[in-house]
Amino acid sequence: MPKKTQAVPRSTQRDTGAESRSNGKAVTNQPVENSHDFHAIISERAYALYEEHGREDGRALEDWLAAEQHVLKQDV
């Protein structure tokens, strides 16, 4: 007959990698830029490109990628 083992309680908090330890204190990693603002800036630039192209449908991805490159080059 197999022996019963005693259950050992496990921590309910998972290590998500979002924190790092330095000198015994938790430090939360923060993004360099606010992703919501970054997305909004790209969105505005992409819409401007859409208007520059005469509001031509079918170029959304192309305009978005061009806007993203423009914003990244501007170091927003």
pLDDT tens digits in sequence order for the chain, 76 residues long: 556 655 555 544 444 444 444 445 444 444 545 788 999 999 999 999 999 999 999 999 999 999 999 999 986 4
- What is the reported pLDDT for 14? 45
Domain-wise residue ranges, the chain: 33-73
* C-alpha torsion angle, residues 52, 57, 58, 62 (rounded to 10): 20
What's the confidence (pLDDT) of residue 74?
A: 87
CB-count exposure of residue 47 (10 Å: 0-12, 13-18, 19+): middle
Please give the model's pTM, rounded to 2 decimal places: 0.53
Looking at residue 5, its pLDDT comes to 56
Element of type H or E holding 57? none
- Residue positions counted in the chain: 76
